[in-house]
Structure 1
Amino acid sequence: MQRLWPKWGLDIDGSAVLELSEFFGNDQPVVLEIGFGMGEATAQMAAADPGTNILAVDVHTPGQGNLLNLADHHGLSNIRVANGDAIILLREMLAPDSLDGLRVYFPDPWPKKRHHKRRLIQPEFLSLAATRLRPGAVLHCATDWEPYAEQMLEVLTAHPDFENTQADGGFAPRPEFRPLTRFEGQGLDKGHVVNDLLFRRVHREEPLAGA
């Protein structure tokens, strides 16, 4: 953290809009990943797709340090790590249409009913995310908590800024680019069902004035 944070880290403070091409040092497309655990899957995806930049956000310091170490060890210059609230990052530090993708893998399911309002995938979050995703960009969610998966599918299907990439309107098979994580493997061993959702940001024509 001491060695690599000044070079590859970002403290989310809402102070200014981030110039992503300057931050990464190139004009490659940028995917935002919210919540990356210890970062193994993030590093694998960055290594497999060096032409895409990954801005990975989490608040877990050991995970941040581990991902920075993986990036350094494997020479992955297309990873940047952000510490803080992803909502503030989206709302105050990213420009409209600046993201080419958004990944939310295994977010906290908040299983108790009274905590459901804390779940990330809600209409308000989707409306904010849609303003930062360019038309055609894909929001990719994955969860092993089936009630949350059903809620995600319902909320995303109802949102006017997103359309399901699956013709049947259901869950997607796990795409090859999303690695199977250690925790996911443990869940599968216990009989958990993992659901992926891939929804595309749609471009809606603004109505003409007076139309």
Structure 2
Amino acid sequence: MTAGQADALQRLWPQWGLDIDGQHVIDLEEMFGNGNPVVLEIGFGMGEATAQMAAGHPDANVLAVDVHTPGQGNLLNLAEQNGLSNIRVGNGDAIILLREMLRPDSLDGLRVYFPDPWPKKRHHKRRLIQPEFLSLAATRLKPGAIVHCATDWEPYAEQMLEVLTAHPDFENTQADGGFAPRPEFRPLTRFEGQGLDKGHVVNDLLFRRVPHQDQ
């Protein structure tokens, strides 16, 4: 961790940081100080793309969660440098956040960009995008909310498409039932650029939370 990242963590965490402890339910309106829509981003690396998207959409709030301390410091630094008051940074397990700390129907979107693909077959169960995770996320997403995933690991992309397509709480925004073109609002990350240079194919998935059965 650089000195700048450590300094940003120390100074800005009390104001813009969230320790995911499962001990209380968050009031997102109070957390951000406005009534704007909130998107949860799980895993943000060094935060460059997160900051870029927050800057491009100042009327939307981003709750960005990761366990990588240098990345947390870097994102806080970027938020301060660019005057981005619509970012909050969470440290800890996103499952605990979703299950214990967020209210039903409180999120307007969910982003999972380039999650760990766990390429070995015996590790596939560790992949984030699984039916149980989607069922939990669905309880916290408003009807119409968008789940946006992106990966450069093609077998994982195929699994994501299969799992999301089969899940009753989500529908594909693509009429052909396949992958989506990269939306303009998702910046090309440095990591992604390196993958493309190596010939990797990046797939985006955009699924919509369907209304609850009783709605």
Q: TM-score, normalised by structure 1?
A: 0.97
Which residue of 180, 188, 194 corresponds with 2:188? 180
Which residue of 71, 74, 88 corresponds with 1:63? 71
Tell me by how many angstroms 1:8 deviates. Answer: 0.1
Runs (5+) with no aligned partner, structure 1: none
Rounded Cα–Cα distance in structure 1 between residues aligned with 2:17 and 2:212: 35
Which SS does the other structure have where 1:63 is aligned? helix
Which SS does the other structure have where 1:51 is aligned? coil
Which SS does the other structure have where 1:2 is aligned? helix
The residue type equivalent to 1:111 in the other structure is P
Which SS does the other structure have where 1:3 is aligned? helix
Rounded Cα–Cα distance in structure 2 between residues aligned with 1:86 and 1:78: 19
In structure 2, the partner of 1:78 is 86
Which SS does the other structure have where 2:137 is aligned? helix
Rounded Cα–Cα distance in structure 2 between residues aligned with 1:73 and 1:157: 40
Q: Which runs of 4+ in 1 moved over 6 A?
A: none
Which residue of 82, 96, 119 corresponds with 1:111? 119
Root-mean-square deviation over aligned CA pairs: 0.8
Which residue of 20, 43, 55 corresponds with 1:35? 43
Rounded Cα–Cα distance in structure 1 between residues aligned with 2:195 and 2:24: 40
Rounded Cα–Cα distance in structure 2 between residues aligned with 1:27 and 1:93: 18
Q: What does the per-residue CA deviation read over 1:86-127, in whole Å, with 9 as the maximum and x for residues that have no partner?
A: 000000000000000000000000000000000000000000
Which residue of 161, 165, 170 corresponds with 2:173? 165
In structure 2, the partner of 1:9 is 17
In structure 1, the partner of 2:5 is none
Rounded Cα–Cα distance in structure 2 between residues aligned with 1:32 and 1:39: 13
Tell me by how many angstroms 1:2 deviates. Answer: 0.6
In structure 1, the partner of 2:60 is 52
Rounded Cα–Cα distance in structure 2 between residues aligned with 1:37 and 1:92: 24
Rounded Cα–Cα distance in structure 2 between residues aligned with 1:21 and 1:15: 18
Runs (5+) with no aligned partner, structure 2: 1-8
In structure 1, the partner of 2:32 is 24
Which SS does the other structure have where 1:199 is aligned? strand
In structure 1, the partner of 2:143 is 135
Tell me by how many angstroms 1:205 deviates. Answer: 2.5
% of aligned pairs identical?
Answer: 86
In structure 1, the partner of 2:6 is none
Q: TM-score, normalised by structure 2?
A: 0.95
Q: What does the per-residue CA deviation read over 1:115-166, in whole Å, with 9 as the maximum and x for residues that have no partner?
A: 0000000000000000000000000000000000000000000000000000
Rounded Cα–Cα distance in structure 2 between residues aligned with 1:70 and 1:41: 10
Rounded Cα–Cα distance in structure 1 between residues aligned with 2:107 and 2:153: 27
Which residue of 117, 120, 128 corresponds with 1:120? 128
